A and B are shown apart, each in its own frame.
Chain A
Amino acid sequence: GQSLEQPSEVTAVEGAIVQINCTYQTSGFYGLSWYQQHDGGAPTFLSYNGLDGLEETGRFSSFLSRSDSYGYLLLQELQMKDSASYFCAPPRGGATNKLIFGTGTLLAVQP
């Protein structure tokens, strides 16, 4: 079967660093993607980890450990506009590349 676990809510202050963890169980695992979704908006692709290790894109970094079935998204120098839901999503390869989303983590950035 497949399962994803993320914290449902995280609160942090402007300028801080926050880490959103993701643990998963999937068959045919092919990396981990992260998406951001603002209230009322569409999901936006942030990053993809196909291999173990850290990927950095500006203020956002994403980490993957396939042996631990674990990943995280790290957001630095938080800004108010980072308030959104964040989803980890493992794609499945082979004949299908469907992304499986969990319920996501609602990040609230406070002044």
Chain B
Amino acid sequence: GAGVSQTPSNKVTEKGKYVELRCDPISGHTALYWYRQSLGQGPEFLIYFQGTGAADDSGLPNDRFFAVRPEGSVSTLKIQRTERGDSAVYLCASSLTRDSGAFFGQGTRLTVV
């Protein structure tokens, strides 16, 4: 597609439930990133994929968070046993090279009630 697509745009879930957030990067971009952003803060790094493998998952806050990118394109961020503190906007970005910059999707606003 023309840009990074994230679905759903909004997700409301009950505490303790499992959620999946999807990211469809720009075609041909081998690098894919997940961030989350709370109000008034900058994007917080979660995980970075180069191709199918997670090159850096040091930002995942705990083992309830997991992400996959099985075919090197679409990625899914999975959150188990959601907590109210997980509420944030989850942003996905993809890039081709370092100096071409990363292109962000519009994000998924996750609300845990």
Q: Which residues of A contact B (CB under 8 A)?
A: 30-31, 33, 35, 41-46, 48, 50, 85, 87, 91, 93, 95-104
Q: With A and B bound together, what is the CA distance between A93 and B55 in angstroms? A: 11
Assuming the contacts A43-B43, A103-B42, A104-B42, asked whether A97 and B95 have C-beta atoms less than 8 A apart, the reply is yes
Q: In the complex the two chains form, is A45's CB within 8 Å of B40's CB?
A: no
Q: Known A93-B98, A99-B102; judge A43-B45 contact (CB<8 A).
A: no
* 9 A-B pairs with least C-beta separation: A45-B101, A101-B42, A96-B56, A42-B104, A48-B99, A101-B43, A98-B48, A43-B104, A98-B45
Report Cα–Cα, A36/B95, bound state, in Å: 16
Distance in angstroms from A12 CB to nearest chain B CB is: 21
A-B contact pairs, 18 of them (CB 8 A): A41-B106, A42-B104, A42-B106, A43-B104, A44-B104, A45-B101, A45-B102, A48-B98, A48-B99, A50-B99, A87-B43, A96-B56, A97-B95, A98-B45, A98-B56, A98-B59, A101-B44, A104-B42
B25 at the interface (CB under 8 A from A): no
Q: Indicate if the CB atoms of B45 and A100 lie closer than 8 Å.
A: yes
User: Once bound together, how far apart are the Cα atoms of A58 and B103, in whole Å?
Assistant: 20
Report whether A95 and B98 are in contact in the complex, using a CB–CB cutoff of 8 Å.
Answer: no
Residue in contact with B33 in the complex, picked from A85, A98, A104, CB distance below 8 Å: A98
Report the nearest B residue to A30, measured CB to CB.
B98
Return chain B residues, CB-CB under 8 Å to A104: 42
Contacts of A95 in B (CB 8 A): 55-56
